[in-house]
Every structure is written in structure tokens, then in C-alpha cells.
């Protein structure tokens, strides 16, 4: 088991290295100048352009820039953002908690709603409830995340005023709030983005969980449990759900990259100050240090997500532990 984990860790490090290198290469190839925010003010002044480019070592050969960057990265120096000059790590440190909160909120919606719907469908398999829920989940699965976010904001925020339309919290009042008020404020802001990001995933989880539940429901040991006189709800809780869990855990690991990709869109719609928005803006501005930092964090997040899924599988299913 330890050997398996070790191998996975080595692969994880290699994956992150390749992603960062590929990102650096793509940014070099992409048209556009990362110093646009500065050089636009320079206009056609050649002295100004020279000053800006030498400040960021942009006049060095690409391969030297690459090795210099990788060397700094290995020593934990992610450099400064070209757009605003602030340390990349500080910017991500400020943004990461917001993305984690959004991700967790979305996962709560995805897995909470998905498991409930999947279980409902499984125990009512073949009935009108099952068919109607299938239709709903199929529709929900087809909805673009961006469009759903816009509609929720337009109706529930703008028209009805039930929820805020912007941000992870209200910065105009946040610092003056008590801790409880800050929590409530963040939760209030979380509702619409979490639903936008989580609904599509919930539909996906519901369908998978329904299949997994049906698979277990027809097993011999479940029939035996019923025959022994154990109540239906107890059988569901203690036997069926537990065994359907392994599929859920696999989906959890696969879900992390889906969340990370959807997060960019939802963060744009709701101006959620997370990594997704930070990265999207960095790409638009060709802000190399920020984009590279984002690729390191994202790749690490995906890899860790999969690693976590593998570990949870080992915990949940003892049969996995003896496999290499």
C-alpha cells in the first residue's frame, strides 16, 4: 500500500512539473504582450518600453527566463504579478480560501442533492417519480453553468433581491462585522454561486448514484438482510448506502477537476474573488507569473484530489488495500 502511495506521489510531482512547463511554453507562443497594462501608458515612447521590459527581464532569451522561473519556483518564489506588482503567493493566498469555500459549497449541493435524488430514484425505480426525476436530472445536466448563474442572479438577486449578486462577501461592511455576522454574510453570498456550480454536478451524481444503488439493491446480501427481518430504512442505511459509497468516492475524485473548470465561469458571473477569476484575468493580460502560479496550484489541486480519492477508496474498501 505504501509503495502504491509513493508511486502516486512521484507521478503527482512529475505531472505538476509538466503542466507548469507546458503553460510557460503556451504563454510564450500566445500573441499579446504581458506588459500591456504598463506599455499602453508608454504609447510609442521607446524609452518607456525599454524600462518596463528590463524591469521584468523580458529582454532575456526565453530559455533563460524559463530556467530562472523554474529555479525560483523550486525555492518557493512564485515572483510578482506583472499587472499589479504584488507577490503571486499573496494574491493566491487571498483568493484560494474563496475558491475552496465555493468548491465546498458546490460539492455540498452536488453530493447532497445528488445522493438524495439518486437514492429516491433507486428506491422508486420504474415509477413515475423515477422517470420524472430522470428527466429533471437530464435537463439539469445539459444546462450551461454560465447561463444558470446569470439566470439565478437576474431573478433571485436583481428581481427579487433575496440574495446578493456579487462577490464572496460584502467588502463595504465585512471588516466591521462580528464573526457570526461574517459567517452569515459569506453563507448568504455563497448560495447562488454554489447552486450554479453544484446543480449540474448534482444531476450527474444522481444518475451515477441511482445506478450504483440499483446494483447493490439487487445483491444477495441485501435480500438476506430483508429476509432476516431488518427494516427497509435500516437496510438502506447500513448495507446499501455503504456499498454504493465506493462509486461516490470515485466520483468525488473525478469531480475536483470539473469543479475547478466550472469555478472559472461561476466566479466570472458572480465576481467571486477566487482562483478562477484571478487566473482568467491573468491569462487575458498575459501575466506569466500569475498564470504559472495558477497552473501549479490547479495541477496540484487536481492531483491531490485524485490522490485523496484513491486513499478514501482504500479506507472504504478493504479489498483495495492488498492490490498494488
For residue 167, what are the CA distances in angstroms to 100, 185, 203, 273, 281?
14, 11, 26, 6, 16
65 or 246: CB nearest other proteins:
65
| Other residues' Cβ atoms within 10 Å of the Cβ of residue 22 | 12
Is 178 a binder of other proteins (CB under 8 A)? no
> What's the CA gap between 290 and 282, in Å, rounded?
6
43 or 76: CB nearest other proteins:
43
163 or 255: CB nearest other proteins:
163
Q: How far is the CB of 307 from other proteins (least distance, A)?
A: 29
Is 49 a binder of other proteins (CB under 8 A)? yes
Each residue 19-48 as x (binds other proteins by CB under 8 A) or -, in order, gives ------------xxxx-xxxxxxxxxx-xx
| Per-position DSSP letters for 175-227, written without gaps between them | GGS-HHHHHHHHHHHHHHHHHHHHHHHHHHHHHHHHHHHHHHHTSHHHHHHHH
Q: How far is the CB of 43 from other proteins (least distance, A)?
A: 3
Q: Integer distance in angstroms from the first to the last C-alpha of the chain? A: 6
Is 187 a binder of other proteins (CB under 8 A)? yes
Each residue 201-240 as x (binds other proteins by CB under 8 A) or -, in order, gives ----------------------------------------
| Long-range contacts, 146-154 (Cβ 8 Å, 24+) | 146/265, 146/266, 146/268, 146/269, 148/195, 148/196, 148/199, 148/200, 149/192, 149/193, 149/196, 149/197, 149/265, 149/266, 149/269, 149/270, 150/269, 152/192, 152/195, 152/196, 153/192, 153/269, 153/270
22 or 90: CB nearest other proteins:
90
Q: How far is the CB of 157 from other proteins (least distance, A)?
A: 5
Is 268 a binder of other proteins (CB under 8 A)? yes
Q: How far is the CB of 199 from other proteins (least distance, A)?
A: 19
Stretch that binds other proteins, among 4-12, 78-86, 229-237, 302-310 (CB under 8 A): 78-86
193 or 253: CB nearest other proteins:
193
Is 105 a binder of other proteins (CB under 8 A)? no
- Asked whether the beta carbons of 122 and 210 are under 8 A apart, the reply is yes
Residue 124: exposure state from Cβ atoms within 10 A (0-12, 13-18, ≥19): middle
Binding residues for other proteins (CB under 8 A): 31-34, 36-45, 47-49, 51, 83-86, 90-91, 93-95, 150, 153-154, 157-158, 161, 164-167, 170-173, 175-176, 184, 187-188, 268-271, 273, 277, 280-281, 284-286
Amino acid at each position: 500500500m505504501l509503495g502504491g502511495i509513493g508511486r502516486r506521489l512521484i507521478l503527482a510531482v512529475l505531472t505538476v512539473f509538466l503542466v507548469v512547463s507546458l503553460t510557460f511554453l503556451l504563454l510564450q507562443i500566445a500573441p499579446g504582450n504581458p506588459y500591456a497594462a504598463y506599455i499602453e501608458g508608454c504609447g510609442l515612447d521607446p524609452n518607456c518600453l525599454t524600462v518596463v521590459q528590463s524591469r521584468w527581464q523580458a529582454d532575456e532569451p526565453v530559455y533563460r527566463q524559463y530556467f530562472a522561473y523554474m529555479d525560483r519556483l523550486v525555492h518557493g518564489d512564485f515572483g510578482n504579478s506583472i499587472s499589479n506588482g504584488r507577490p503571486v503567493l499573496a494574491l493566491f493566498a487571498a483568493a484560494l480560501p474563496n475558491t475552496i469555500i465555493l468548491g465546498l459549497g458546490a460539492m455540498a449541493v452536488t453530493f447532497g442533492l445528488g445522493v438524495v435524488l439518486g437514492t429516491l430514484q433507486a428506491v422508486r425505480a420504474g415509477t413515475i417519480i423515477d422517470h420524472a426525476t430522470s428527466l429533471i436530472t437530464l435537463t439539469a445536466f445539459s444546462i450551461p453553468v454560465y447561463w444558470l448563474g446569470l439566470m439565478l442572479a437576474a431573478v433571485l438577486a436583481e428581481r427579487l433581491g433575496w440574495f446578493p449578486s456579487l462577490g464572496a462577501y460584502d467588502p463595504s461592511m465585512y471588516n466591521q462585522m462580528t464573526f457570526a455576522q461574517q459567517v452569515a454574510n459569506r453563507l448568504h453570498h455563497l448560495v447562488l454561486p454554489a447552486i450554479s456550480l453544484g446543480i449540474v454536478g448534482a444531476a450527474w451524481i444522481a444518475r451515477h448514484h441511482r445506478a450504483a444503488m440499483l446494483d447493490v439493491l439487487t445483491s444477495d446480501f441485501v435480500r438476506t438482510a430483508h429476509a432476516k427481518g431488518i427494516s427497509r430504512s435500516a437496510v438502506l442505511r447500513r448495507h446499501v448506502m455503504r456499498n454504493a459509497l465506493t462509486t461516490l468516492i470515485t466520483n468525488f475524485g473525478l469531480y475536483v477537476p470539473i469543479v475547478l473548470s466550472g469555478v472559472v465561469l461561476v466566479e466570472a458571473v458572480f465576481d467571486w474573488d477566487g482562483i478562477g477569476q484571478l487566473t482568467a484575468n491573468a491569462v487575458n493580460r498575459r501575466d506569466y507569473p500569475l498564470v504559472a502560479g495558477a497552473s501549479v496550484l490547479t495541477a496540484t489541486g487536481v492531483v491531490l484530489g485524485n490522490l485523496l480519492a484513491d486513499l478514501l477508496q482504500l479506507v472504504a474498501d478493504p479489498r483495495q488495500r492488498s492490490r498494488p
